[in-house]
């Protein structure tokens, strides 16, 4: 019995309400958004991965108006990789700080990834924003520019050693609607290497913002030390230095929905 016949057999055992639920889910899958791939990448070279992710977006919005948030994104990303039989670590098994998923796709290259998502009210087209790259409790205790620089450099050396890239899902939407577009981008961790060149004077303020030069841009991103929340924020990440894997455009985008905050934590 193939998967289609097996599915039909299982539907016959469901209650009328369960059949109604499945029918709604199937309707949502029939409206799966066609991906608009920006450039061939280690992900988009596998159309099955892209199709699976688009189906997951459709299934998600078949039952809720809320954007695909961080926890759901992590699950969908992992499931899409598993569907292609890629090698990946078990959920929650990462032993290194900062890493959400370690996987080896078909190209044989192991990648250690941090996963982020955002459904902020206003998302810039040309830049990305990570509201919390990581927590850093020491921020509230450090007072001198010298100590602040030393602790930040130690943190980012550890981060770059642990993480190869940040994969971020961005949900674009108009106020009070479900997302009309999802964008999957990859931010290289070596973007932060330029922090090593930042002078001590750049850390003089209680909440300094340090430019990261990268690929010829004097400010490809800005690392902000947020003393009030003891966290590291990354602002104005230029998409020109990132990889835009794919975009999915949704047809249904007029369902009323309450605002959801940025969940890039």
Q: Name the 3-class secondary structure at 103.
A: strand
Query: pLDDT-based confidence at 262, cuts 50/70/90?
Result: low
Instruction: List the alpha helices (DSSP H) in the chain.
Output: 3-11, 16-29, 47-61, 70-83, 145-162
Dihedral of the CA atoms 84, 182, 156, 204 (nearest 10)? 180
Domain assignment present for 85: yes
Q: Do residues 233 and 130 lie in contact, with contact meaning Cβ atoms separated by under 8 Å?
A: yes
- Choose the weakest-confidence range: 81-90, 94-103, 207-216, 233-242: 94-103
**pLDDT of amino acid 240:** 96
| C-alpha closest to that of 149 among 58, 82, 210 | 210
User: Residue 43: what pLDDT?
Assistant: 92
**3 state SS of 262:** coil
At 26, is the pLDDT very low, low, confident or very high (cuts 50, 70, 90)? confident
pLDDT at 141 over 60: yes
Residue 39: its pLDDT value, please?
78
Of 200 and 60, more confident? 200
Q: What integer pLDDT is reported at residue 188 of this predicted model? A: 97
Asked if residue 245 belongs to a domain, the reply is: yes
Q: Is there a domain that residue 113 lies in?
A: yes
- How much is the pLDDT for 34? 66
**Percent of the chain whose predicted confidence (pLDDT) is above 90:** 56
Residue 226 forms part of a structural domain: yes
Say if 255 falls within a structural domain.
Answer: no
Residue 49 pLDDT grade (very low, low, confident, very high; cuts 50, 70, 90): very high
Q: Which of 211, 241, 206, 239 is nearest to 223 (CA)?
A: 211
| DSSP assignment letter at 72 | H
pLDDT band with cut points at 50, 70 and 90 for residue 171: very high
- Mean pLDDT score, 33-60: 84
Cα–Cα nearest to 116, from 27, 233, 208: 233
CB contact at 8 A, 253 and 180: yes
pLDDT at site 253: 41
User: Are 186 and 165 contacting, i.e. CB atoms less than 8 angstroms apart?
Assistant: yes
**Mean pLDDT across 138-162:** 93
- What integer pLDDT is reported at residue 20 of this predicted model? 77
Residues 6+ apart with CB under 8 A from 77: 53, 101, 115, 167, 169
179 within 8 A of 172, measured Cβ to Cβ: yes
Residue 187, domain extent: 31-249
CA gap 170, 76 in Å, rounded: 14
Whether 23 maps to a domain, the answer reads: no
Answer yes or no: is 112 within a domain: yes
How far apart CA 192 and CA 196 sit, in angstroms, is 8
What pLDDT shows up at residue 10? Answer: 84
Tell me if 152 is assigned to some domain: yes
State the pLDDT confidence band at 32, using cuts at 50, 70 and 90.
Answer: low
The average pLDDT across 208-217 equals 96
- Number of domains making up the chain: 1
Predicted pLDDT of residue 55: 87
Average pLDDT of the segment spanning 148-163 = 96
pTM, two decimals, is 0.85
The answer on pLDDT for 216 being more than 60 is yes
Q: Which residues pair with 115 in a beta bridge?
A: 167
- Asked if 168 contacts 130 with a C-beta cutoff of 8 angstroms, the reply is yes
């Amino acid at each position: 019995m193939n998967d289609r016949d097996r599915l039909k057999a299982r539907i016959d055992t469901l209650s009328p309400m369960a059949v109604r639920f499945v029918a709604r889910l199937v309707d949502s899958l029939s409206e799966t958004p066609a991906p608009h791939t920006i450039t061939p990448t280690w992900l988009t070279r596998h159309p099955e991965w892209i199709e699976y992710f688009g189906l997951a977006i459709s299934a998600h919005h078949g039952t809720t108006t809320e954007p695909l948030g961080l926890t759901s994104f992590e699950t969908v990303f992992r499931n899409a990789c598993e569907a292609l039989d890629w090698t990946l670590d078990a959920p929650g098994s990462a032993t290194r700080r900062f890493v959400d998923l370690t996987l080896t796709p078909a190209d044989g290259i192991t990648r250690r990834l941090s996963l982020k998502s955002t459904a902020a009210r206003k998302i810039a087209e040309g830049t990305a924003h990570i509201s919390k790259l990581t927590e850093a409790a020491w921020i509230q205790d450090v007072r001198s520019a010298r100590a602040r620089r030393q602790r930040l450099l130690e943190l980012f050396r550890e981060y770059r050693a642990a993480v190869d890239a940040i994969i971020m899902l961005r949900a674009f939407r108009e106020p009070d609607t479900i997302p009309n577009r999802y964008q999957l981008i990859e931010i290289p961790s070596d973007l932060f290497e330029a922090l090593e060149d930042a002078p001590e004077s750049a850390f003089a303020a209680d909440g300094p913002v340090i430019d990261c030069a990268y690929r010829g841009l004097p400010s490809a991103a800005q690392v902000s030390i947020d003393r009030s929340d003891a966290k590291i924020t990354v602002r104005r990440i230029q998409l020109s230095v990132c990889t835009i894997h794919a975009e999915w455009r949704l047809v249904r985008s007029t369902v009323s929905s309450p605002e959801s905050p940025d969940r890039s934590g």
